[in-house]
Structure 1
Amino acid sequence: MKINRRHFVKQAAVGATGLGLAAALPGSLFADTSKELFFKISISQFSFASQFWTQKLNPLDFAAKAKELGISGLDYCSMFFADKARDQQFLNDLKKRSADAGSYNLRIMVDGEGVLGDLNEAVRLKAVEGHYKWIDAAATLGCPMIRVNVEGEGAPADVAKAAVDSLGKLIEYGSKQHIDVIVENHVGISCNAAWLAGVMKQVNSKHCGTLADFGNFCINRTKPETNDIAGYMKTKCLEEYDKYKGITELMPFAKGVHAKSHFFTTAGDDAETDFYKMFKIIKDSGFNGWVSIEYEGGLLKMYSQDAKYLDDYAGVTATKNLVEKAGRMA
C-alpha cells in the first residue's frame, strides 16, 4: 500500500490519536530495514507521562504497552511509583509483567531524592541515602543500573567535588548488588557536558557513566512559577549548550543514550535535533548499547493542547521510526 508521508503527518498534527496512527507509520517508509542496527532500542517510561499522570495507564502495564509498540528495553522512572521503592509485592509484580512481555529491565531513573552535588555534607549524605532504596529496587527488578542527577549550587569545581563524593558512595553501595550508577545531563550544571565529562574523569570507575540525552542541554532557564511539572513546562531556556558538541563529549562515558523528541517535520524528521548527525556521533564513539526513546510531545500536548504534538503512542512510534532510519544511515 502506498502511503503519502505529507498527508500522514498532516493528519497526525490535527489530532489523530492512538495506535491507529502508530500502526500507520511503518519503518519501511523511512529506511532500508534489511540493514542491522548497531544498537538496541529501549523506551523511557517518561514517554507515557501524560498517560501515567492522568491514570489512563498503570505503571504495571508499562512493559505490555512497550511491547505493543515493538520495544523490549525498559527505562523505568521512579516518579511513577515513588511510594513503591520498598514494596516487594509491587516490584515482584512489575518484574513478572516485564518477563511475561519478554522485556529487558534496563534501569530506574531516579528523581526527587535530594541534591547529590550539594556543598553541605549532611544534605548530600541524606540525598545519597535516599538513593539506596532505588539501588535495592533495581536489584529486585534485575536492572543493571540506576540513573541519578548531579546538580548543585556553587562554584563548578566545588559542585563537581561534592558530586564525585556522592557518586563514590553510591557506586560502593551499588557494587554489593552489581548495580552501576550513571548520570544524565538533566538538570542544572549537569547540562554542561564538559563539566559532566570532567566529573566522570574524576570518578574514573567502570561502574559509573553517563546517560547522554539529546535534549537536556539548557544551561540557563527561567525559574518556574510553581514547583511542579506544570510550572516547569512553562519555563523557557535562555542559553543552551551545543547539543552535538555535548553528545560528543558524553559518549566516551555513555552506558545509555536518550533519543529525545518533541515534534516532527512533514518529512518525519525531528524538528529540533538532527538525528542523523547524532547517530553518526554515537556510532563513531563505538557505542553499541541501548538507545532509549524519550518522547515528550504527549506531555506538552496535554498542557498546551498544541496540535503540532502527537499523542504519546503516535509520537513514540514516529520517534522509533526515525531512530531506526537514522541508525541505519549512520
Structure 2
Amino acid sequence: MPSNRRHFLRQLGGLAAGFGAASTGLSFINSPNEDFQTKGHTSYPDFAPAPLFFTISLAQWSLHKKLFAKEMDNLDFPAMAKNTYGISVVEYVNQFFKDKAKDEKYLAELLKRCNDNGVKNHLIMCDGEGDMGSPDANVRNQAVENHYKWVDAAKYLGCATIRVNAFGQGSAEEVAKAAAESLSKLGEYAGKTGINVIVENHGGYTSNGQWLSGVMKKVGRKNVGTLPDFGNFCIKREGGAQWGSKCIEEYDRYKGVGEMMPFAKGVSAKTNDFDEQGNCIETDYVKMLKVVKSAGFKGYMGIEYEGDKLSEEEGIKKTKALLERVGAMIK
C-alpha cells in the first residue's frame, strides 16, 4: 500500500487544484471566495457550485451500530439524515423494521416523517429472506415470495427499488441459473407496481462482477439490475464463512464495478478508513468515480460507512465530503 502522501498525490495528480467541500454539500472554486473573504466579507457570494454527476443518498447501514444498540430507531432515520447530514434521500435496511413490512400504520408514520423533513425514500435493502440462488426450486420460490411484502412496502413508501441477495449453494453455473430464474419471477411481480429489483455484490459468487453481470444478462428485464458496492469484493473467506473471517480471495473492485455498471440502478459508496487528507484508504475514489462516470451513471450514490476507527457520524461526514470533493473534479 502506498504511503498516505503518495496515495493523496496520486488521487489528485493531473486534476485542477482548489476544490473544497462546503458544509452545505456543494463544492465551490476556492480562489474567488478566498479573495472575497480577504476583503473583509464574512459570507460567500453567489458563485455557481461545481455540479456532481450523481445525487448523494444515505444508506441506513452507516448507522447500524446506533440502531442495534437502540440509540436510535428506524423512525428517526429520515430526520437524522436531513438534519444531521444534510442528505435528503435515504436507503433503508429491512433488518431495522423487519416485522413492519405489512404494518400500514407504521409505514404511514415513517412516510409522514419523511414528508415532514423533505426526505425522499429511494431503496430498501432486504436481507434474511431466503436463498434466491438455491438450486432447490422450493427454497428459491419461497425466497421470492418472501420478498413480495418488501416490494409492496417499497411502493407504499415511494421507493423506486428493493435490493436483494442472490445467494445459493452449488456450482457457479447452478447458482447463476437459479438466481436468474428467481430474479425474473420477482422482477415480474415488482414490475407490475413499477419497482426495481437489484442485486448487490455481497460475497461469494455475487462479488464476482463477471458472474453477476452474466446473471443480469440471463434475466434481461429492465427493472432488474445491480447495486455496485465499492467494497464488497471478497469471493472466498477462511473456513468458507459468508462474513467475518479473513478474506482469502478478492475480486478486483474497479473491474467488478465496471462490469456491473451497465445494469446499475444505484451505487453504494463504501468507506472504512481515511488518511490525513480525507481520502479513502481502501478505495481510490478518483479512479472509482471515473469508472462510474464513464458508464453514464447519473443516479443515487449511497454513503455506506462501515469503519471502526471513526464514529458513525464522523465516518458519514467524511464520506460525504470525499464524494463532494472528488465528484466535483470528475469531468
TM-score range, shorter chain: 0.7 to 0.9
**Residues in 2 aligned to 1:223 and 1:56: alpha-carbon distance in whole angstroms:** 34
In the superposition, the TM-score normalised over structure 2's length comes to 0.84
| 1:270–1:176 Cα change, 3 Å | same
Q: Give the conservation status (yes or no) of the 8 Å contact 1:78–1:109.
A: yes
Name the structure 1 match of 2:175.
159
Q: Give the conservation status (yes or no) of the 8 Å contact 2:63–2:312.
A: yes
Name the structure 1 match of 2:105.
89
Name the structure 2 match of 1:294.
304
Name the structure 2 match of 1:244.
254
Q: Residue deviations 1:213-251, cap 9 Å, x none?
A: 0001000112488x9xxxx44x21111100000111111
Counterpart secondary structure, 1:209: strand
Name the structure 2 match of 1:305.
none
Which among 42, 49, 52 is matched to residue 57 of structure 2?
Answer: 42
Name the structure 2 match of 1:126.
142
Give 5+ residue unaligned stretches, structure 1: 1-5, 7-23, 302-308
Q: Give the conservation status (yes or no) of the 8 Å contact 2:305–2:319.
A: yes
Name the structure 1 match of 2:324.
324
Q: Residue deviations 1:256-275, cap 9 Å, x none?
A: 00000011001100010001
**Residues in 1 aligned to 2:205 and 2:25: alpha-carbon distance in whole angstroms:** 40
**Residues in 2 aligned to 1:311 and 1:282: alpha-carbon distance in whole angstroms:** 28
Question: Aligned residues: percent identity?
Answer: 50
Counterpart secondary structure, 2:321: helix
Give 5+ residue unaligned stretches, structure 2: 6-20, 30-47
Deviation at 1:163, TM superposition (A): 0.4
Which residue identity is paired with 2:219?
V
Residue 315 (str. 1) matches residue 331 (str. 2): no
Q: Give the conservation status (yes or no) of the 8 Å contact 2:26–2:50.
A: no
Counterpart secondary structure, 1:83: coil
Structure 1 stretch 150-159 or stretch 317-326: which is displaced more? 150-159
Query: How many residues matched?
Result: 292
Name the structure 1 match of 2:72.
57
Name the structure 1 match of 2:40.
none
Deviation at 1:134, TM superposition (A): 0.6
| 1:102–1:238 Cα change, 3 Å | same
Which residue identity is paired with 1:190?
T
Name the structure 2 match of 1:276.
286
Deviation at 1:47, TM superposition (A): 0.3
- Root-mean-square deviation (CA), in Å? 2.0
Q: Residue deviations 1:266-299, cap 9 Å, x none?
A: 11000100011111111111000000000012xx
**Residues in 1 aligned to 2:203 and 2:104: alpha-carbon distance in whole angstroms:** 30
**Residues in 1 aligned to 2:131 and 2:233: alpha-carbon distance in whole angstroms:** 19
In the superposition, the TM-score normalised over structure 1's length comes to 0.85
Deviation at 1:40, TM superposition (A): 0.5
Q: Residue deviations 1:182-209, cap 9 Å, x none?
A: 1111122100110000011111111111
Q: Give the conservation status (yes or no) of the 8 Å contact 1:27–1:321.
A: no
**Residues in 2 aligned to 1:96 and 1:129: alpha-carbon distance in whole angstroms:** 28
User: Higher RCO, 1 or 2 (CA under 8 Å, sep at least 6)?
Assistant: 1
Counterpart secondary structure, 2:265: strand
Which residue identity is paired with 2:176?
A
Deviation at 1:157, TM superposition (A): 1.4
